Amino acid sequence: GAVVSQHPSWVICKSGTSVKIECRSLDFQATTMFWYRQFPKQSLMLMATSNEGSKATYEQGVEKDKFLINHASLTLSTLTVTSAHPEDSSFYICSARYQSSYNSPLHFGNGTRLTVT
């Protein structure tokens, strides 16, 4: 149980285009999902907290207009990288808690490797 599916696994796009990444909780409902970014050989940096039915909460320094997050249902959150540039190339990972309590472990998607050419 507690499976989080992320799609696509990898994507290559041209500079200036937009890319949408989907994160689904397959066997549980997630009112809150989290989006992380990971640079090569570095740790995970929280980008934003995605809340079902409301606006996402962005971490300091993350451009909300560039990284659009939509949490339309209890099982789906999407991250859209708008007008992507090479510096946006990175590994993006979503996660969700199986249970709503704060001590419940996060379950992560397999990540999306974005390459912007």
Partner 1 sequence: AQKVTQAQTEISVVEKEDVTLDCVYETRDTTYYLFWYKQPPSGELVFLIRRNSFDEQNEISGRYSWNFQKSTSSFNFTITASQVVDSAVYFCALSGGAGTYKYIFGTGTRLKVLA
User: Is residue 42 within the footprint of partner 1 (CB under 8 A)?
Assistant: yes
Beta bridge partners of 37: 45, 92
Within 58-117, the residues that bind partner 1 by CB under 8 A are 91, 93, 95, 97, 102-103, 105-111, 113
- Parallel, antiparallel, or unpaired for β 106-108 and 112-116? unpaired
Cis peptide before 86 (omega within 30 of 0): no
Whole-number minimum distance, CB 112 to partner 1, in Å? 9
Binding site for partner 1 (CB under 8 A): 32, 34, 41-44, 46, 49, 91, 93, 95, 97, 102-103, 105-111, 113
